[in-house]
Amino acid sequence: MNDPRIIIALDFPDAKQALDLTAKLDPASCRVKVGKELFTAAGPQLVEKLMDNGFEVFLDLKFHDIPSTVAGACKAAAGLGVWMMNIHALGGRKMLTAAREAVPVGNTRLIAVTLLTSMGSEDMNEIGLKGDPQDVVQRLALLARDCGLDGVVASALEAPMLRKMMGESFCLVTPGIRPADVSQGDQKRVTSPCQAIENGADYLVIGRPVTQAEDPVGMLRRLNEEIGELKDGQGLSA
Ligand code: C5P
């Protein structure tokens, strides 16, 4: 089955802009991510519309609340039939376990956010997370696996370490991806698409480099070609 590795972050303020962009894209060449901004503005109807249009959807709402509230939210999200969804590992063991129970292993992949890729060491220290980002990410990823989650969102810079620790079947989704000639924006820990794949990422979340490109379709094609060549050349399995 076709398993596109690029997930386009539809970080738009309304459904129209998201639908205008996706109308140009082929669901065989990417998946799409609906995050807090778009979901708050356009709701589950848009998620259903995107799925009707053939796209597999990663619902990126990063739930983080008391266990029963997160369990209910996860059940509702999985009920929409999304391909992937996430919760915040910082919610702790009870919350992660409740979420897993609400979304049994199956069609919807349930993954955890470890540390946002916009957080540097100073930002972490300021909120009381001591140590370097790698240690925090490692601890949260182990906790997520222990609670039965399917994978984590993490910076591609942490992917080699996570791949080694977690084994081949643990899903690694990496945002903070920037082609060499595109602005870094507010992301602090960035990696090129090829480097992310080489580092062991399964899926790459890419937003502005594609959505703000003059030619989004051309940019997506270029990125798919880059990682496709890598895949062929290096005999990667997926
Ligand atoms: O535009 P850009 O490529 O920076 O978009 C990255 C996307 O990945 C955004 O939608 C952001 O919310 C999301 N994300 C992230 N870091 C995480 C988890 C998700 O940047 N740790």
For residues 85 and 96, the answer to whether their CB atoms sit within 8 Å is no
Average pLDDT over residues 137-142: 95
Set 16, 24, 36, 62: catalytic member = 62
Average pLDDT over residues 43-51: 98
Average pLDDT over residues 98-112: 96
- Specify the range with the lowest mean pLDDT, choosing from 6-10, 14-18, 113-117, 185-189: 185-189
Token pair, residue 85, equals 């969804």
For residues 70 and 63, the answer to whether their CB atoms sit within 8 Å is yes
Q: Is 89's C-beta closer than 6 angstroms to any atom of ligand 1?
A: no
Which uninterrupted H or E stretch holds 143?
helix 133-146
How far is CA 49 from each of CA 22, 32, 42, 56, rounded to the nearest angstrom? 11, 12, 11, 11
Q: Is 155's C-beta closer than 6 angstroms to any atom of ligand 1?
A: no
For residues 91 and 114, the answer to whether their CB atoms sit within 8 Å is no
Where does the pLDDT of residue 115 fall: very low under 50, low under 70, confident under 90, or very high at 90 and above? confident
For residues 136 and 121, the answer to whether their CB atoms sit within 8 Å is no
3-class SS at 62?
strand
What is the set of domains in the chain, with CATH numbers? 6-231 (3.20.20.70)
What is the structure's pLDDT at 237?
Answer: 39
> Hunting for tokens 């929409």 — which residue is that?
80
What is the structure's pLDDT at 205?
Answer: 97
16/131: higher pLDDT = 16
Q: What is the Cα–Cα distance from 172 to 157, expressed in whole angstroms?
A: 11
- Is residue 230 predicted with pLDDT exceeding 90? no
**Mean pLDDT in the chain?**
92
pLDDT digits (tens, 9 = 90+) for 182-228: 666 766 667 999 999 999 999 999 999 999 999 999 999 999 999 98
Average pLDDT over residues 112-132: 87
Could you tell me which of 169, 171, 191 has the C-alpha nearest to residue 180?
191
Closest residue to atom 18 of ligand 1, CA basis:
116
Nearest ligand 1 atom, CA 206: 3
* Gap from CA of 147 to ligand 1 centroid (Å): 24
What is the structure's pLDDT at 183?
Answer: 66
* Gap from CA of 153 to ligand 1 centroid (Å): 10
Told to judge if 62 belongs to the known catalytic residues of this protein, a careful annotator would answer: yes
3-class SS at 84?
strand
Which residue type sits at 31? R
117/29: higher pLDDT = 29
DSSP 98-138: HHHHHS-SSSSEEEEE-S-TT--HHHHHHTT--S-HHHHHH
For ligand 1, pick from 205, 208, 223 the residue to mutate: most ligand atoms within 8 Å of CB.
205
What is the structure's pLDDT at 229?
Answer: 64
* Gap from CA of 233 to ligand 1 centroid (Å): 28
- Three-class HEC string of 194-229: HHHHHCCCCEEEECHHHHCCCCHHHHHHHHHHHHHH
What is the structure's pLDDT at 19?
Answer: 98
Q: Is 4's C-beta closer than 6 angstroms to any atom of ligand 1?
A: no
3-class SS at 167?
coil
pLDDT digits (tens, 9 = 90+) for 141-181: 999 999 999 999 998 989 999 999 999 999 999 998 988 77
Average pLDDT over residues 40-63: 98
Average pLDDT over residues 106-124: 89
* Gap from CA of 21 to ligand 1 centroid (Å): 18
What is the structure's pLDDT at 209?
Answer: 95
Confidence (pTM): 0.92
What is the structure's pLDDT at 22?
Answer: 98
